[in-house]
């Protein structure tokens, strides 16, 4: 319906540099808008099968892990024993957020669950580079090496005063991101904190300018 | 260019790399690798400052962070820093330092008169000025504050940048001397994540200041190779110029890294000046070394009196011989090394040993070198005021308390003083580890640690003073720390062997003598025995404290201020305990020890703040429409972290003008408010209605799909704590709104009840506050405005008040709630955040022909007050029930239960005399009451007057045409028509009438159009 008409969108990062890129040391860029669906349910096999039937991804049941589509365009993230986040590129499998919500709700009919479109709740920032851990360590007390020992781990933590969801994926070829171990990081931060966090990251990366 | 006191050989300074610097305005030069202290000594400058209280001339007395004397004012303007320790300042080109606490000059200081007044200003005089005469302190304070103290703080904002860095490791090694390096190497090889930090510019610790051989090479070469091995391991992080300053529970430690201090102000714009580390370590190895302690003799604070190990360090590390004639005063063997090195460097050396006998190998070596040893003697007097010229020595009695025999004068410019060694137990003590007094070393050494702070002290920090033992101990404990920290599978048994060195003969016992007698009883003549140089505390002060009953160590410390200066008593604490023990005739352990507290050395506030300054200090949360507000001149107010537009002044308008205009326009035509900050919670589940029944005071079971309802939330005490409109979106699906400030609190509240008390309820709550941008349009033209952007039937029948529809507004998918916080026809239009600005622009465009007005929170407040709508947190303060608000209509009488229900019938809540929300009108129709002002019954009663209530909200209402107010008044709901008086701060009484809080549209017809 109306979503097809081009409506001007706004980002909290408006007016800031499009990216911060310091050679192979560090790169920070805001990701384009994604479809993001918050899922609540008991995590049992019925729930898991329904979710995976719709998304094509297995439901991660190991705490702080994710399931990533082969081409990285969709992901299921464990947020809690009864909470997950499904995120995918807009238009993935020709579906928009409203379609995903409808599909998931109908697949989960009868099961106690909640499916909520939170596509605009967070801004997604992608960080990469040889010094990415060093930059992040200026902002978060989390032991990143232990918490995200390899890609497909995730963590909910604090960067400065912002609560964030941190995920990781292997660096791939078609991205401009700098390939590093364990991979490329994505920070999901609330809309109204995105500008504050961006400025913090820019300051933290300053030594690699 | 030559230096008076520089000797041949490279040491650790780069002789090819000269740097210029200024001290007290005079130009000098030094070399890269010098500290300010070593460069001053090389130039023959000993006198560097005046003391805190007596303004005594003071010189450089140590070579490390323990120096209590060598404090200077570094740099100028915004970069200036007081009380920086010259022994820790690495020399850079253009460095500019000045001496402190002197006027007009360092050599001639008026404040020196304090030294003559000393007998009138002993310890505790400061406290006595508080007591007598009673008014005296106010008079004295100005003078005392000016006369005491050291450097001056900059007046300008700090131009430097700082940062915090979090770090995690398996093994943190504090100190990179022989023990620490050995520990780090062993732990690193075993596979542990290791961080090793050292406060000096380069690793090596004591090796840097001594000529020793390790593993068949020079000690310096061993340090270089070890540093290289550490550097090659990816699991090891080496951090020089970094002082571990604090040890907190659960092995959380803080450290200050001086990143660019050694380059000078503003040298590298990319790097922070200092970095504040927050380290979480599984195991801590404390290899912090030991600090030499001085023997206390008469006039021992004269410039030229130095610690013996410092003299040795200046000779070997910096190739600076502080003086050509050196008198070594000692009670132990270690100072003889200083004598040998000074002799080799060309000094004329005399040794004064308070012991009666000297080990044969030392006596023989001295004899060969032609060094005279005076055994059984002590220094009893020092000649020279600004610099040592000579010292007098006399034989001491067997117990060391009295002088005997004849005086001998020794010409010297340096006294190299050693009273033994104190292990640096500061961090161990900070971790709440216990201390034990070692009766061989006559020092406190680490004893048990506490379980939550697993750590170990190694090497000299543990009282192990021989180099070979330090190497072995460090290696062993580094390996053990790695093994303890690592899971079994990750530990590799690859520590290798410890480095080795040829052992020197074992040390002979030291003689536990603390204070050397002089020609007059200590404290009863002109000569002073200083034990805390930085706070100018003498041995006599401790005796005074004991006489006045301050026997406890903690009392002693506070009464005399010993150990309370920026050096934290690194050279004085144990001496103070020993003196008190001597006075009381007790053993030192019986006197006790004080608690060491962070920081080990001073930490700048800037470093603690890190990058959290200016716009990074606190998040400014913006709504998606923010840029529009900025472009249109909004004045913002802080609502929690949010920046909300308070009003939109047009050219020349004051806040009052703008709010009056916005308020009139909204009721006349239509106004739009950015309401994006309202808390929003998505609630789903078969028990959602039952859940809302418990959370809110009113009924929810019969709310139809697509309908909205206002609700009050109470806490367990029955007090109002949030309010908002909740809408039923579907069969088991609700959309709750909360106050802006209450969003997080309400979300936590809901989750707490669901998770802890009602786990049986099938309800899921999801915060969607930031998913939606919200524009609230209010006013008689609101339907026309919405109609111009939405192709939907907006008639009262199709879309009545308190209902909800989904529609496209300006082509944007929207959730529209017909609810009103102004009493006018109103819609809250919710769109996904990314479209918030587009919606706003469409509304303001479409509203132009309707005379649309954009308004802010101030007008929002005014408009709701005209209707008597409450604001939780403004008209309530956590002590207000629904009944107090006259809102019993929203409290269900039929529900079995809801949160806060039982408290409604509590005697205090249900009883009389409660303050209730009423409207207030000033009789003169002109005066605007101040919010918070108290209301009393009579205009003329003299204080104390009991208050009848207070004003919670007050506005000049253009729509009513007079000031209106609301307030909480005792039993106000039954007092409509009565008058009260508002007593202002200016002393006026303003007559007010109590009315129903409903100033406009009393029949409520406006919302329906």
In terms of phi and psi (left: phi > 0; alpha: psi -120 to 50; beta: otherwise), the region of B208 is alpha
Residues of A in contact with B771 (CB under 8 A): 117-121
The rounded distance, in Å, linking the Cα atoms of B29 and B51 is 26
Distance CA(B323)–CA(B410), nearest Å, equals 14
Structure tokens at A72: 């990285």
Taking the alpha carbons at both ends of chain A, their separation in whole angstroms is 46
Enclosing H/E stretch for A196: helix A194-204
CA distance B129 to B137: 5
Q: Does A162 sit within 8 Å of B616, measured CB to CB?
A: no
- CA B647 – CA B596 distance, rounded (Å): 54
* pLDDT recorded at residue A180: 60
Residues composing chain B: 1009
The minimum CA-CA distance between A204 and chain B, rounded to whole Å, is: 8
Phi and psi, residue B758, nearest 5°: -125, 50
Q: Which residues of A touch B811 (CB under 8 A)?
A: 2, 5, 7
Determine which of B192, B616, B617 to mutate to test the interface with A (most A C-beta atoms within 10 Å).
B616
CA distance A82 to chain B (A): 9
**Maximum Cα–Cα distance across chain B:** 117
Testing the interface with B: which of A192, A198, A199 to mutate, by most B Cβ within 10 A? A192
Q: What does the buried/exposed string (b/e) look like for B42-51 if buried means 16 or more CB atoms within 10 Å of the residue's CB?
A: bbbbbbbbbb
Picking from B166, B684, B834, the nearest residue to A9 by CB comes out as B834
Predicted pLDDT of residue A2: 44
Cβ-nearest to A203 among B271, B611, B624 = B611
Chain B residue nearest residue A163, CA to CA: B619
Task: List CB contacts (< 8 A) between B770 and chain A.
Answer: 120-122, 190-192
Distance CA B814, CA B354 (A): 91
- Comparing CB atoms, the residue among B622, B768, B770 nearest residue A116 is B768
Three-state secondary structure of B307-327: EHHHHHHHHHCCCECCCCEEE
- Of B971, B932, B927, the C-alpha closest to B950 is B932
Nearest to B423 by CA among B600, B287, B290: B290
Does residue B452 contact residue B249 with C-beta atoms inside 8 Å?
yes
Q: How many CA atoms lie within 13 A of B276 on its CB side?
A: 20
Report residue B573 as tokens: 């604490």
Interface test with B, best of A1, A4, A10 (most B CBs within 10 A): A10
Q: How far is A83 from chain B (nearest CA, A)?
A: 10
Buried b (16+ CB within 10 A) or exposed e, B782-791: bbbbbebbbe
Could you write out the DSSP letters of every residue in B333-402?
Answer: STHHHHHHHHHHTT-EEEEEESSS---HHHHHHHHHHT-EEEETEEEEEEE-SSS--EEEEEEB-TTSSS
Q: What is the pLDDT of residue B678?
A: 96
Tokens encoding B565:
């200066």
B619–A contact, CB cutoff 8 A: yes
| pLDDT in the model for residue B141 | 65
What is the structure's pLDDT at B128? 66
B736 neighbors B683 (Cβ within 8 angstroms)? yes
Distance CA B306, CA B292 (A): 10
Q: What angle do CA B515, B518, B520 make, to 5 degrees?
A: 120
Rounded Cα distance between B583 and B962, Å, is 80
Q: Report whether the peptide linkage leading into residue A182 is cis, meaning its omega lies within 30 degrees of zero.
A: yes
Judged by DSSP in three states, B456 sits in strand
Distance, CA of B818 to CA of B799 (rounded, Å): 8
This complex has an ipTM of 0.95
Residues on chain B touching A208 (C-beta within 8 angstroms): 270
Q: Which of B164, B619, B767 sits opposite A161 (nearest CB)?
A: B619
B81 min Cα distance to partner chain A (Å) = 24
Contact yes or no for B164 and A138 at CB 8 A: yes
Taking phi first (over 0 means left), then psi (-120 to 50 degrees means alpha), and beta for anything else, what does residue B513 get?
Answer: beta
The answer to whether the pTM exceeds 0.90 is: yes
**Which residue's entry shows tokens 């909910």?**
A156
Q: Are B195 and B481 in contact (CB under 8 A)?
A: no
Provide the pairing of β-strand B325-330 with B348-353.
Answer: parallel
Contacts of A122 in chain B (CB under 8 A): 770
Contact yes or no for A137 and B837 at CB 8 A = no
DSSP string, B414-454: EEEEE--EEE--HHHHHTT--EEEETTTTEEEE-PPPTTS-
Q: How far is A115 from A54, CA to CA, in rounded Å?
A: 13
Say if the Cβ atoms of A12 and B624 lie within 8 Å.
Answer: yes
- CA distance to partner chain B, nearest, from residue A123 (Å): 10
The CA distance from A141 to the nearest CA of chain B, in Å, is 6
Task: Assess contact for B456 and B286: CB atoms under 8 A.
Answer: yes
A37-75 residue pLDDT tens: 999 999 999 999 999 999 999 999 999 999 999 888 999
Q: Report the run of H or E that residue B843 belongs to, with start and end.
A: helix B836-846
Residue of A nearest to B790 (CA): A2
Q: Please name which of B74, B80, B96 lies closest in space to residue B28, comparing C-alpha atoms.
A: B96
Chunked mean pLDDT (size 10), chain B, 1009 residues:
88 94 96 97 93 88 93 94 94 95 73 67 66 62 62 90 97 98 98 97 95 94 97 97 98 98 92 97 98 96 97 97 97 97 97 96 96 97 95 95 94 97 96 94 95 97 95 97 95 93 86 94 91 91 93 90 87 92 92 87 95 94 97 96 97 97 97 98 97 97 97 96 97 96 96 97 97 98 97 93 97 97 97 98 97 97 96 95 96 95 93 96 95 92 87 97 97 97 88 96 85
Q: Give A40 to chain B, closest Cα distance, Å.
A: 7
Which residue of chain A comes nearest to B833, CA vs CA?
A120
The residue in chain A having the minimum alpha-carbon distance to the alpha carbon of residue B761 is A112
Which of A86, A114, A209 has the most B C-beta neighbours within 10 Å, making it the best mutation to test the interface with B? A114
**B 109-128 near A (Cβ less than 8 A):** none
Contact assignment for A192 to B272 by CB distance below 8 Å: no
CB–CB of A40 and B642 under 8 A?
no
Note the Cα B500 to chain centre separation in Å.
43
Residue A3's pLDDT band (cuts 50, 70, 90): very low
DSSP letter, residue B691: H
B622 touches chain A (CB under 8 A): yes
Q: Which residues numbered 772-791 in B keep a CB inside 8 Å of some CB on A? A: 772
As a whole number of Å, the CA-based R_g of chain B is 38
């Amino acid at each position: 319906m109306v979503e097809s008409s081009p409506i001007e969108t706004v980002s909290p990062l408006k007016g800031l540099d499009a990216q911060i890129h310091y050679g192979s040391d560090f790169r920070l860029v805001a990701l384009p808008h994604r479809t993001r669906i918050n899922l609540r349910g008991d995590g049992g096999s019925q729930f898991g099968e329904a979710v995976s039937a719709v998304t094509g991804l297995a439901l991660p049941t190991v705490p702080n892990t994710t399931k990533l589509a082969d081409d990285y365009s969709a992901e299921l993230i464990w947020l809690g024993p009864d909470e997950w986040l499904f995120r995918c590129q807009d238009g993935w499998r020709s579906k928009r957020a409203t379609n995903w919500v409808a599909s998931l709700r109908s697949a989960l009919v009868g099961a106690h669950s909640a499916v909520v479109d939170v596509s605009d709740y967070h801004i997604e920032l992608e960080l990469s580079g040889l010094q990415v851990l060093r930059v992040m360590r200026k902002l978060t007390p989390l032991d990143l090496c232990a918490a995200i020992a390899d890609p497909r781990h995730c963590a909910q933590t604090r960067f400065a005063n912002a609560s964030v969801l941190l995920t990781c994926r292997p660096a791939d070829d078609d991205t401009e991101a700098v390939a590093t171990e364990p991979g490329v990081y994505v920070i999901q931060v609330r809309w109204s904190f995105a500008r504050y966090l961006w400025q913090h990251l820019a300051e933290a990366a300053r030594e690699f300018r | 260019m030559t230096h008076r006191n520089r000797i041949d050989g490279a040491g650790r300074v780069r002789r090819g790399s000269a740097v210029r610097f200024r001290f007290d305005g005079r130009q000098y030069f030094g070399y890269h690798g010098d500290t300010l202290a070593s460069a001053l000594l090389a130039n023959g400058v000993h006198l560097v400052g005046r003391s805190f209280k007596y303004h005594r001339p003071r010189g450089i007395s140590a070579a490390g962070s323990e120096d209590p004397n060598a404090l200077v004012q570094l740099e100028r303007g915004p970069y200036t820093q007081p009380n920086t320790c010259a022994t820790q300042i690495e020399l850079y080109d253009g460095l500019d330092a000045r001496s402190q606490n002197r006027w007009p000059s360092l050599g001639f200081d008026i404040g020196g008169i304090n030294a003559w007044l000393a007998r009138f200003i002993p310890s505790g005089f400061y406290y006595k000025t508080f007591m007598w005469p009673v008014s005296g302190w106010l008079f004295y304070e100005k003078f005392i504050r000016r006369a005491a103290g050291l450097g001056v703080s900059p007046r300008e904002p700090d131009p430097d940048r700082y940062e915090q860095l979090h770090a995690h490791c398996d093994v943190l090694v504090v100190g990179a001397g022989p023990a620490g390096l050995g520990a780090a190497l062993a732990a690193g090889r075993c596979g542990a994540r290791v961080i090793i930090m050292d406060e000096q510019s380069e690793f090596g610790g004591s090796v840097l200041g001594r000529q020793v051989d390790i593993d068949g090479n020079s000690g310096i070469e061993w340090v270089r190779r070890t540093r290289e091995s550490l550097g090659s391991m990816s699991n090891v992080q080496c951090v020089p110029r970094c002082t571990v300053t604090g040890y907190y529970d659960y092995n959380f430690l803080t450290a200050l890294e001086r990143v660019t201090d050694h380059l000078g102000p503003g040298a590298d714009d990319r790097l922070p000046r200092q970095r504040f580390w927050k380290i979480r370590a599984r195991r801590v190895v404390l290899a912090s070394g030991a600090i030499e302690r001085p023997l206390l003799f008469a006039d021992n604070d004269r410039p030229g009196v130095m610690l013996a190990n410092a003299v040795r360090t200046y000779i070997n590390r910096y190739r600076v011989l502080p003086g050509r004639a050196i008198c070594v005063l000692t009670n132990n063997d270690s100072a003889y090394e200083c004598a040998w090195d000074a002799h080799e460097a060309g000094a004329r050396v005399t040794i004064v040993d308070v012991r009666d006998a000297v080990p044969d190998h030392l006596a023989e070596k001295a004899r060969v070198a032609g060094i005279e040893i005076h055994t059984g003697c002590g220094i009893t007097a020092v000649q020279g005021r600004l610099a040592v010229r000579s010292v007098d020595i006399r034989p001491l009695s067997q117990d060391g308390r009295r002088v005997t025999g004849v005086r001998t004068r020794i010409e010297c410019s340096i006294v190299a003083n050693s009273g033994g060694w104190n292990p640096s137990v500061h961090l161990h003590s900070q971790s709440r580890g216990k201390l034990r007094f070692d009766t061989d070393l006559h020092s406190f050494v680490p004893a048990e640690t506490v379980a939550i702070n697993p750590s170990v002290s190694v090497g000299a920090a543990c009282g192990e003073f021989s180099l070979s033992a330090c190497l072995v101990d460090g290696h062993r404990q580094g390996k053990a720390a790695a093994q303890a920290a690592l899971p079994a599978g990750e530990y590799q048994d690859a520590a290798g062997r410890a480095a080795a060195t040829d052992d020197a003969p074992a040390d002979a016992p030291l003689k536990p003598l603390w204070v050397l007698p002089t020609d007059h009883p200590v404290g009863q003549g002109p000569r002073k025995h200083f034990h805390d140089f930085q706070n100018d505390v003498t041995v006599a002060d401790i005796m005074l404290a004991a006489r006045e009953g301050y026997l406890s160590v903690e009392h002693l410390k506070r009464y005399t201020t010993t150990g309370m200066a920026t050096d934290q008593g690194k050279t004085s604490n144990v001496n103070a305990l020993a003196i008190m023990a001597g006075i009381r005739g007790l053993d030192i352990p019986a006197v006790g020890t004080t608690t060491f507290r962070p920081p080990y050395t001073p930490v700048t506030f800037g470093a603690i703040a890190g990058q959290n300054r200016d716009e990074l200090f606190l998040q400014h949360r913006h709504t998606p429409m923010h840029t529009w507000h900025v472009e249109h001149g909004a004045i913002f107010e802080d609502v929690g972290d949010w920046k909300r537009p308070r009003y939109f002044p047009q050219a020349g308008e004051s806040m009052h003008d703008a709010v009056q205009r916005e308020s009139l326009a909204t009721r006349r035509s239509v106004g739009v408010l950015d309401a994006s900050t309202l808390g929003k919670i998505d609630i789903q589940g078969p028990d959602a209605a039952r859940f809302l029944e418990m959370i809110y005071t009113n009924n929810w079971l019969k709310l139809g799909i697509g309908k909205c309802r206002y609700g009050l939330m109470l806490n367990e005490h029955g007090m109002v704590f949030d309010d908002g409109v909740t809408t039923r979106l579907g069969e088991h699906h609700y959309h709750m709104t909360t106050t802006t400030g209450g969003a997080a609190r309400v979300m936590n509240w809901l989750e707490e009840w669901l998770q802890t008390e009602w786990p049986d309820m099938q309800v899921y709550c999801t915060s969607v506050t930031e998913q939606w941008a919200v524009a609230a349009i209010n006013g008689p033209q609101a339907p026309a405005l919405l109609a111009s952007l939405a192709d939907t039937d907006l008639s009262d029948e199709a879309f009545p008040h308190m209902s909800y529809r989904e529609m496209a507004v300006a082509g944007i998918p929207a959730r529209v709630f017909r609810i009103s916080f102004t009493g006018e026809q109103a819609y809250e239009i919710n769109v996904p955040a990314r479209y918030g600005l587009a919606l706003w622009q469409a509304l303001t465009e479409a509203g132009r022909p309707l005379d649309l007005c954009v308004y802010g929170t101030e007008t929002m407040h005014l408009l709701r007050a005209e209707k008597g709508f409450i604001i939780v947190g403004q008209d309530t303060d956590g002590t207000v029930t629904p009944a107090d608000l006259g809102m019993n209509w929203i409290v269900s009488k039929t529900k079995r239960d809801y949160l806060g229900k039982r408290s409604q019938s509590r005697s205090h809540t249900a009883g009389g005399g409660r303050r209730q929300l009423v409207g207030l009108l000033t009789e003169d129709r002109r005066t605007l009451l101040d919010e918070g002002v108290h209301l009393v019954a009579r205009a003329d009663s003299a204080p104390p007057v009991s208050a009848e209530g207070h004003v919670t909200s007050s506005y000049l209402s253009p729509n009513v045409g007079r000031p209106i107010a609301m307030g909480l008044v005792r039993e106000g709901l039954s007092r409509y028509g009565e008058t009260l008086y508002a007593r202002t701060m200016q002393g006026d009484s303003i007559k007010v009438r109590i009315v129903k809080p409903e100033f406009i549209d009393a029949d409520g017809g406006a919302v329906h159009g």
